Amino acid sequence: MAREKLQREVWDHFGYAETGSTYRRNVEIFRKFLLKQRLFHGYTTADTTIELFNQKIQTPVFVAPIGSFHLVGPQTEVQVVSGTLDAKSLLFVSQFYNSSLEDLAKLPHPPMVWQGYLTSSYDDLAKKMRLAERAGFVGVGVTIDGTQPGKIGDRIIPGRGRSNPVMNDDIRKLRMETSLPFFVKGIMTAEDASLAVDAGADIIVISNHGGRIADYSRSPIEVIPEVIKAIGNRAVVITDSGFRRGTDVMKALALGAKAVLIGRPIVWGAAVGGSEGVSAILTKITEELRRSMVICGVPSLDKLSEKVLIRDAA
Ligand SMILES: Cc1cc2nc3c(=O)[nH]c(=O)nc-3n(C[C@H](O)[C@H](O)[C@H](O)COP(=O)(O)O)c2cc1C
């Protein structure tokens, strides 16, 4: 439906790099993990509330930072804010939003976390982080997987042409600019997770950018266990890339992630139904998660563990 609503170039913009191998793996990998149904537990509902960024949030299903919501329509950024609020979720706001941080903060809004790219100048990032803090954002951080610009097929995404080295000293310095919880997004190995945590990250976002950067990458759900083993309780892990269903979310949370960010489905929801479309996507995935928790005999997210998962040997 979203495809019919969007112009061809806009739809194409939401694509993936090179052969699309990473994108396909992201959405298909969940088949390899099965859920163990349990019946003798007496629960008829489950609690999806979590605490993150010092907030109590009713769902671990959040909105990913997407820099190009404005391509969907001039009102889309504002609709994403109100749709996320209606779904009682949390919104990651990309540095590439057209709306200013102050304007977003003036709207009725959900808890918001600001995301910058290390490709920007240090001073600019530090300034925006301070602005976000003053405007009442609940967290800030940086996406670091832009060592090479994103691609759609073989084409470099316009406006993202600069590559940059990632040094954990830069992250260490930036982290000191704010007292808010600080995330680093784009981590795909235990080694990088440890370096980011050493540099002061409170939250690690395991992500392959929805398959827009590296082709033939592993999927985040394959990386969660090694990252958690490496960093232990020193930081919280959240993740994204390819999550479409509540059962997908359940599998990542069972492996130890605390929340999941949803990217393209939010774009599709906004294209089809504006603010209500955004809220419908978040609510549907949350409801699927809640249902699946009951089916597996898990009353609340703190009780969820790897015990509900089995690897599909088929
Ligand atoms: C069109 C588009 C724009 C994006 N813009 C950003 C961005 O500005 N900052 C960022 O950290 N990630 C960005 N991402 C990556 C998302 O935050 C997220 O990692 C990814 O979309 C998750 O995969 P999914 O779309 O399969 O859910 C973008 C992704 C897409 C598809």
Task: Quickly list DSSP for 253-306.
Answer: HHTT--EEEE-HHHHHHHHHHHHHHHHHHHHHHHHHHHHHHHHTT--BGGG--G
Residue with tokens 């069972």: 254
What is the whole-number distance in angstroms between the Cα of residue 106 and the centre of ligand 1? Answer: 25
What's at 45, amino acid-wise? T
- The answer to whether the CB of 185 is under 6 A from ligand 1 is yes
CA within 13 Å, CB half, 59:
28
Local confidence pLDDT in tens for the 314 residues of the chain: 888 888 888 888 899 999 999 999 999 999 999 999 999 999 999 999 999 999 999 999 999 999 999 999 999 999 999 999 999 999 999 999 999 999 999 999 999 999 999 878 889 999 999 999 999 999 999 999 988 888 899 999 876 555 667 778 889 999 999 999 999 999 999 999 999 999 999 999 999 999 999 999 999 999 999 999 999 999 999 999 999 999 999 999 999 999 999 999 999 999 999 999 999 999 999 999 999 999 999 999 999 999 999 998 87
pLDDT of residue 160: 59
**Closest CA to ligand 1's atom 14:** 66
**Closest CA to ligand 1's atom 10:** 65
Residue with tokens 């310095």: 173
What is the whole-number distance in angstroms between the Cα of residue 13 and the centre of ligand 1? Answer: 11
**Closest CA to ligand 1's atom 21:** 263
pLDDT of residue 163: 63
Range 2-311 classified under CATH 3.20.20.70:
yes
Q: Which of 25, 61, 66, 71 has most ligand 1 atoms within 8 Å of CB, for mutation? A: 66
- The answer to whether the CB of 219 is under 6 A from ligand 1 is no
What's at 249, amino acid-wise? V
pLDDT of residue 235: 98
pLDDT of residue 162: 58
- 241 backbone φψ class: left, alpha, beta (φ>0; ψ -120 to 50): left
Query: % helix / strand / coil in the chain, to the nearest 5?
Result: 45, 20, 40
- The answer to whether the CB of 48 is under 6 A from ligand 1 is no
- The answer to whether the CB of 262 is under 6 A from ligand 1 is yes
What is the whole-number distance in angstroms between the Cα of residue 270 and the centre of ligand 1? Answer: 15
Q: Which of 63, 209, 260 has most ligand 1 atoms within 8 Å of CB, for mutation? A: 209
Cβ count within 10 A of residue 186: 22
- The answer to whether the CB of 60 is under 6 A from ligand 1 is no
Question: What is the rounded CA–CA span in Å between residue 151 and residue 161?
Answer: 10
- The answer to whether the CB of 241 is under 6 A from ligand 1 is yes
pTM of this prediction? 0.97
What is the whole-number distance in angstroms between the Cα of residue 43 and the centre of ligand 1? Answer: 36
Question: What is the rounded CA–CA span in Å between residue 201 and residue 73?
Answer: 34
Helix (H) or strand (E) holding 141: strand 139-143
Residue with tokens 């602005």: 131
